[in-house]
Chain A
Amino acid sequence: MLVFEDYKKQFGDTTIISIPKLELSPGVYWLKGENGSGKTTLIKSISGLIPFDGRISVAGQDIRTNRIAYTSIVNYAEAEPIFPGFLTGTDLIRFYCETKKANDGQARQLAGVLGVTGYADNKTGTYSSGMAKKLSLVLGFLGMPKFIMLDEPLITLDQQSVQALYELIQQYYAAGVSFLITSHQDVFFDNLATTRLLIKDKTLVVV
């Protein structure tokens, strides 16, 4: 599912994280690591937000050789999402539907489950951090992803939304979607086994 080959991310001369070779099979992964260990950097690399050395491929698609196909199947929800204040949640959902080839039904369902419907028509500049977080989760599930990365999905969410998110993850996993979740809080699924990943000594290890 997710393959790293000679992956390395540096800031200046400092290596943040390096993964010589690693292949992860489909599943739900819980990525742990201390603050500043490089979790977000790794997730941003996989989602194509920042440049890196080496190769990363998801389900056989390499971002360097086929960006469009790659970003069509790899979704990402940020830890602390920021959106341009002039857009409404609906504007963003429509835009994601258009680019990720999602249908209105899926968008409506996700917005309903995560409780975004009530405020989606307001400009994102008026959102609280929890509201922006829920919108980012809706956007993270849109389309036909094969791999979804959720960076600290539980922070700022109310209890009801946390439960809804757990159910969504299980539902999407059952449909063949893999997940990479970073969280400092414990992640519990009733009927789903998670594999723990740890960033240790600037590399990624399966625990």
Chain B
Amino acid sequence: MSRVLLKAIAARYYKVNTGFFLLLFLLLFCLLDGKSTIALHYGIIRGITSSFTALSVALLVWAIYNFKCISFGVKEIHRPENSFLFRLQSVDNKRQLWVLQLCHAAMYLPLLVYAAIVVIIGFTGHHYLHACIFLVYQLLMCGIGAAVYFNQVNSTFTKPAITLPAFDISRKKHFLFYLVHHSLFSLKGSFIGIKLFSLLLLQGMVAANSDTLSKEAICVLIMFLISAHALLPLYYARFIEGDMSFLRNLPIPVMRRMLIYVVTYAIIFLPELLFLLLNEHHVMPLQLTLSLYAVAVSQLTFYTALQYLKSMQTERYTMFVFGLFFINLLLLASFNLWFLFAVEGVVATVMFVRLYDGYEYMKSEK
């Protein structure tokens, strides 16, 4: 039973989030050399075990990640193809909780491993209170996950206590805004998570470079922002070609079909644009801010065109994004941003137009 749950939920979690984990790995372990990386993490762990402020921040980060796992798990339980999971209702509560706990722990595992190291270092450094708080907190996080799933599986016949409101931004929905509506309707959790993560990255980079911003810092900043959104083109292309496959039977020009993506990305990056315009106007000229925004939009459009390549599975796409991260860093550092925006825009358009007719959506991609 636990094997089926691990396969249906936990394994899919890692498959869907390959890009997220790669980005995290990149951020946490690849930016500095080996010695400095160890020193950095040791410093963070020492901070958690000795300072209440650092401990509070860590607890918050662990809670956010736990929320991400729980949201995914709940969404998976309610997927039509996973409706067989509700058969768990006929299993006794103790066993149900145990298998659900295992499944949640499998998703929570990366931070659980990190937490275990924190606790061990805490105890060896005689910071017993912090280490104990952190340990109990992890048990609580795992318990909450299992309890939420248990409640979802066993409450098919009761009305949910809380439901997130659906954002209906306008009554008449224009074709070009379908993906924005979809994001606010079906991808609420992921969408808000990505935006928070992106703004957090922005705030961190900006705080680290408060007086002046070097070109290198700007390049890293924009690539992180884009990478934080890199999963959206994947979701969107699958949604348009899967759930809205009927669009292919409608007389809509290919360029207009591509425009739906461009308009969506232009809207999605507006919070970042506003953030930079409001907070960084003293170190970043308007033209630079606008060119960063334009590059971000064209880059995601390019990522969208990549979805139309033959057999573009999640893993393959993640590898592309990973490779493009470094290539683009080099390109950004060597070229004018407007030039790069134009080149990427043209390449994305040519690719999309050429690949569109030959694309075939496979249900297994969902």
Task: Please list the residues of chain A having a beta carbon within 8 angstroms of any beta carbon in chain B.
Answer: 47-51, 64, 67-72, 74-76, 78, 81-87, 91, 94-96, 99-100, 139
User: Could you name 20 residue pairs across A and B whose Cβ atoms are closer than 8 Å?
Assistant: A49-B245, A49-B246, A51-B357, A68-B252, A68-B253, A71-B248, A71-B250, A71-B251, A76-B246, A78-B246, A81-B246, A84-B186, A84-B243, A84-B244, A85-B186, A86-B173, A86-B181, A87-B173, A94-B172, A96-B250
Q: Is B3 an interface residue (CB 8 A)?
A: no
Contact of A48 among B182, B186, B249, B253 (CB under 8 A): B249
Known: A49-B245, A49-B248, A99-B251. Is A86-B185 also a contact (CB below 8 A)?
yes
Q: Is B197 an interface residue (CB 8 A)?
A: no
Q: Is B165 an interface residue (CB 8 A)?
A: no
Contact of A85 among B172, B185, B246, B254 (CB under 8 A): B185
Bound together, the chains give a CA A91 to CA B175 distance in angstroms of 10
User: Across the interface, do A82 and B243 meet the contact criterion of CB distance under 8 Å?
Assistant: yes
* Nearest chain A residue, comparing its CB with the CB of B253: A68
User: Across the interface, do B244 and A72 meet the contact criterion of CB distance under 8 Å?
Assistant: no
Write out, one digit per residue, whether chain B residues 159-195 have a CB within 8 A of any chain A CB (1) or not (0). 0000000100000110100100110111000000000
Q: Is B239 an interface residue (CB 8 A)?
A: yes
Given contacts A49-B245, A86-B181, A95-B175, 14 further A-B contacts (CB under 8 A): A47-B248, A48-B249, A49-B249, A64-B357, A71-B249, A71-B250, A76-B246, A85-B185, A86-B166, A86-B173, A86-B184, A86-B185, A94-B172, A100-B250
List the A side residues contacting B249 at CB < 8 Å: 47-49, 71, 74-76
Task: For chain B, give the interface size range.
Answer: 20 to 34
Q: Is B358 an interface residue (CB 8 A)?
A: yes
User: Across the interface, do A48 and B248 meet the contact criterion of CB distance under 8 Å?
Assistant: yes
User: Across the interface, do B251 and A69 meet the contact criterion of CB distance under 8 Å?
Assistant: yes
List the A side residues contacting B181 at CB < 8 Å: 86-87
List the A side residues contacting B216 at CB < 8 Å: none
User: Across the interface, do B251 and A72 meet the contact criterion of CB distance under 8 Å?
Assistant: yes
Bound together, the chains give a CA A68 to CA B253 distance in angstroms of 7
List the A side residues contacting B360 at CB < 8 Å: 50-51
* Nearest chain B residue, comparing its CB with the CB of A75: B249
User: Across the interface, do B251 and A67 meet the contact criterion of CB distance under 8 Å?
Assistant: yes
List the A side residues contacting B42 at CB < 8 Å: none
Q: Measured between C-beta atoms, what is the minimum distance from B246 to chain A in Å?
A: 7
Q: Is B339 an interface residue (CB 8 A)?
A: no
List the B side residues contacting A85 at CB < 8 Å: 185-186
Write out, one digit per residue, whether chain B residues 140-174 have a CB within 8 A of any chain A CB (1) or not (0). 00000000000000000000000000100000110
List the A side residues contacting B245 at CB < 8 Å: 49
User: Across the interface, do A99 and B250 meet the contact criterion of CB distance under 8 Å?
Assistant: yes
Q: Measured between C-beta atoms, what is the minimum distance from B328 to chain A in Å?
A: 30
Bound together, the chains give a CA A67 to CA B249 distance in angstroms of 9
* Nearest chain A residue, comparing its CB with the CB of B248: A49
User: Across the interface, do B252 and A99 meet the contact criterion of CB distance under 8 Å?
Assistant: yes
Bound together, the chains give a CA A168 to CA B176 distance in angstroms of 32
Q: Measured between C-beta atoms, what is the minimum distance from B97 to chain A in Å?
A: 31
